[in-house]
Structure 1
């Protein structure tokens, strides 16, 4: 009878230790040492899963990630695409083809963007911005 209790105790200790170490510190050790920034929602959600199982380890996971700074996005990471490559996504009528733009962004940045999402907010550019990129405004 002692063996099952030891097995259950070992599994419980292993589970608690994995929750205490915090997800951001495990997945992104290079982010440690940051003071502030934009919070990574994926890491915050994974830390919140710890709250569902055990309150104390979940709170400790959040505390460790905030204290080490591993919950924040890396500072200064930006993604840029040359304007010449983006010209391919603009049609002859001056409108942007979202499908072409999405394929350009996927090939250049290696990430997919949901440009067909109805919640996407599109802003119109000015004639000066178009002229800066060598484009003619269409009325």
Structure 2
């Protein structure tokens, strides 16, 4: 009886660990921050397996993937803007003007980004990080 309870506990522990790691946020961290797009069937399948075996971890995995945007397939279109052109979006106080940034991105890539969307994840940097990209503050 003691050996069977150890085996059962081991199987339960391994199953829980696989379900906790079976979400798109852990498998595809580069997709975090997306707002919308086509849903990745692989991530949905992994999250559905979590619901099949354990309802609560599966629902949590779905919630995390939708909240972070990792459940969406990446866009095939890659756009970039030269750092020199982004210089105009930085104010004298070192803060980025969202309206100017949106206009520069629209002009350079043709994409109108929803920079005022409340679901947008914004990362705050420092003057040193701007300097690594060759951007300097205007005095």
> Which bin holds the TM-score, normalised by the shorter protein?
0.3 to 0.5
Q: Find the structure with the greater CA-based Rg.
A: 1
When normalised by structure 2's length, the TM-score is 0.46
When normalised by structure 1's length, the TM-score is 0.46
* Greater relative contact order, per chain length (Cα 8 Å cut-off, separation 6+): 2
